[in-house]
Amino acid sequence: MSYRQLSLDERYQLQTLLGQGFGPTEIARALGRHPSTISREIRRNGPWRDGKPYKAAAGHHETHLRRIAKGERSRKIQGALQTLIEAKLHLSWSPEQIAGRLSLEHGVSISHETIYQHVIRDARRKGTLRYCLRFGGYKHHRFKKSNLGEATRRRKHWLRLRCAAANKRTELGHWERDCVLGERGGAAFLTLVDRKSRYTRIRRVEKVDTAHVAAATIDALNTLPEPAKTLTNDNGTEFQQDASLQKKLGVPIYFTDPSSPWQRGSIENLNGLIRQYVGKGVDIAAMPSWLATALEITLNFRPRKILGYRTPHEVHFCQALTLLSNQRMHFGLEFSRRIRNLAQATCCCHWFAGARCA
């Protein structure tokens, strides 16, 4: 049986029994411990230390301090090696670079994680080594965890819980959601795409926050004849009002794993198509008010290879359209690569008039 130190409760029992005049052997029998364990505890924190009686709380605290001191003495980073590592940290070397170079030049085997732990201990002592790291001067997960973020993660519906019909794209109504950003801090496009049909809904939001995004989501989905069944998005701050939005829409909202854009590939592909018309960093608020509708119509009537060259509109509404004829027809945004200013592009408002159902 492996040795384990006395717990705080056992130390309080030891304190009481010593006060009643019991010896180490009798106390050991009462606590179910080996007599040497009791003798060792009395010897280290016993009544003859400073002429004071044995105190359980003080003994427990001193044991903890001895354990910390032992850990510090056994650490690999100390002395000359510590001086060398800290010098390279101040030269902005990463812990991985330092560990690799120590192995290459001196044959010293040390993990980069050990160096990170050294930096973390220094940060807890109000040291400055953390600022030598690339992201050390910011709110980095190694040094601070957000209690709000932890609570948010606990109440989320993660993607692995999503139903099979949504995962296999066998029915309509399972949507993915994202935002196409323009100028920093400005307006953006809220984009939604049906996983099966790739049917698209686009709304302009004047500000990328939970209130504006939630309102635009409700407007986009509640105007469809087919009710939404699930909604999937990433972990952006604009999507964190999931509880109230789920209640208003009546559908579960699922979140992808952090840094996993491939888990919602349909919306990523859609955003790439939109970037053909809306470049990064542009001022979306200054663009024409009809642009979101025009983009939506354009993409919904564009044949897609993954749909067998049918359009999302045809798949979503189970219609067959004649789109290739001698008659000139417009579906949404008529755009030319020669047009540099998107405000000069034209939009056809009567987009459905030229289409014929087969």
CA distances from 279 to 150, 259, 302, 331 (A): 35, 23, 20, 21
Rounded to whole angstroms, the Cα distance separating 79 from 128 reads: 19
Rounded to whole angstroms, the Cα distance separating 15 from 47 reads: 10
CA distances from 308 to 148, 197, 294, 305, 313 (A): 45, 11, 24, 5, 13
pLDDT band at 50 (very low <50, low <70, confident <90, very high): low
Beta bridge partners of 179: 190
Cα dihedral sign for 99, 103, 107, 111? positive
CATH number for domain 157-299, candidates 3.40.50.970, 2.60.120.10, 3.30.420.10, 1.10.3720.10: 3.30.420.10
Burial bucket for residue 47 (CB in 10 Å: 0-12, 13-18, 19+): middle
Reported as a single tens digit per residue, the pLDDT across 217-256 is: 999 998 888 889 999 998 888 888 778 888 888 899 998 8
pLDDT band at 353 (very low <50, low <70, confident <90, very high): very low
- The mean predicted confidence, pLDDT, of the chain is 80
Reported as a single tens digit per residue, the pLDDT across 132-166 is: 887 665 444 555 555 545 555 555 788 888 899 99
Reported as a single tens digit per residue, the pLDDT across 10-19 is: 888 888 888 8
> Nearest 5°: CA angle at 334, between 329 and 337?
135
Rounded to whole angstroms, the Cα distance separating 306 from 218 reads: 28
Q: What are phi and psi of 220, to 5 degrees?
A: -70, -40
- Res 72: pLDDT: 63
Reported as a single tens digit per residue, the pLDDT across 293-306 is: 888 988 888 888 88
**Which residue's entry shows tokens 């032992």?**
70
Which has more confidence, 332 or 70?
A: 70
